[in-house]
A = this chain, B = another copy of it.
Amino acid sequence: MHRIAVIPGDGIGPEVIEQALLVLDKVSSKFGVKFEYIFIDAGGCAIDKYGVPIREEDLELVKKCEATLLGAVGGPKWDGLPGNLRPEQALLKLRGGLKVYANLRPAVLYDELKDSSPLKKEIVDKGIDILVVRELIGGMYFGPKGREVKNGDEVAYDTEVYSKSEVRRIAKVAFEAARKRKKKVTSVDKANILESSRLWRETVEEVAKNYPDVELAHMYVDNASMQLVKDPSQFDVILTSNMFGDILSDEASMIVGSIGMLASASLGEGSVGLYEPIHGTAPDIAGQDLANPIATILSAAMMLRYSFEMEDAAKAIENAVKIALKEGYRTKDIYTENCKLVGTKQMGKIICENI
């Protein structure tokens, strides 16, 4: 029996989580394993209910679970609130509280969805299969920040800060992952300008010594943002900081043409993990049975793989998704001519049936 903290969140969050849970139920009966779901409010809905993005007692509850499955949090409704009262604060508290320092974001181009990529056929035909390994609990997100008045001028600051030990542990994750893939790590930084990037680069070099079988390349972040569009097939594992990873993983998700398909796992020491789709709350389509549940369903698959060591079940889900796509089922975001348009619920149902 596995205890899972389930955080539906805001916007389309609850709808996509619902389908992921149905998939987990199917896995449960098929693989003879039990899941207990602990539902937690976090994000905008928690602000509305309790006045805070996540209550301390709820954070403690989450920490006691084996893994967390999250939909999405945030929305324009809460955008005007001060920094510490925003829905996103719940995400930071969860990430920091669970100490999940390694955010794994696979950006894979599905053959069936090639037409949805904004890139030209020549580029896309070379294939895209990138794993972004983003540091998740350091850098500017968590460094000292504040505001002050200096000579009558208001000043605000954030600090990008990294220690060698932080870089070392995330670099290890990237190299280990690369070993199971195409054996290439591209570490992205801005070492020509940032002191923190220089420490990053040095430390990555040190870690690389233990992985002589993995090729290491360094790339400046401005160049990386170009190369992702120019020739994404050159990348295997991209290793980068929290801030740069935020930008580049979104770019990577766009070039595969289907942010509604992309899952993520955030891992710490041991088997703890936070699993969430890469997409946001999409308030404009919330509650209309239009959202694509696949990213969340694939996040659940990642949970089975990384937190519960249920590789077979994870593969069964991934396979079921592929079959649904092959059979031509598409939610609106990935719809192209001659496919079968389905809603959130039907897509979930079809995937369940394929397991």
Cβ contact within 8 Å between B230 and A247: no
Q: Is B164 a contact partner of A154 (Cβ separation < 8 A)?
A: yes
A157 touches B156 (CB 8 A): no
**Which residues of B are found within 8 Å of A117, using beta-carbon distances?**
120
Give which listed residue, B195, B230, B246, contacts A83 with CB less than 8 A.
Answer: B195
User: B251 and A156: CB pair below 8 A?
Assistant: no
CB pair B247 A199 closer than 8 Å:
no
A354 within 8 A of B: no
Sorting the interface of chain A by its residue count into under 10, 10 to 19, 20 to 34 or 35 or more gives 35 or more
Q: Is the CB of B251 within 8 A of A226?
A: yes
Q: How far apart are the CA atoms of A221 and B251 in the complex, in Å?
A: 10
Is B164 a contact of A195 with CB atoms below 8 Å?
no
* Interchain CB contact under 8 A, A194 and B145: yes
In the bound complex, residues from chain B placing their C-beta under 8 Å from that of A165 are 153
| Identical copies in the complex | 2
| Contact call A156/B161, Cβ cutoff below 8 A | yes
Of residues 195 through 252 on chain A, the ones whose CB sits less than 8 Å from some CB of chain B are: 195-200, 221-223, 225-226, 229-230, 243-244, 246-251
How far does the alpha carbon of A29 sit from the alpha carbon of B159 in the complex, in Å?
52
**Contact yes or no, A226 B250, CB < 8 A:** yes
Among A120, A197, A247, A259: residue with most chain B CB under 10 A:
A247
Chain B residues with Cβ under 8 A from A192's Cβ?
74, 79, 86, 88
Contact A147 to B195, CB < 8 A, known contacts A158-B159, A247-B247: yes
Cα–Cα, bound, A193→B87 (Å): 11
Residues of A within 8 A of B (CB): 74, 79, 83, 86, 88, 92, 117-121, 123, 140-141, 143, 145-147, 150, 153-165, 190, 192-200, 221-223, 225-226, 229-230, 243-244, 246-251, 253-255, 259
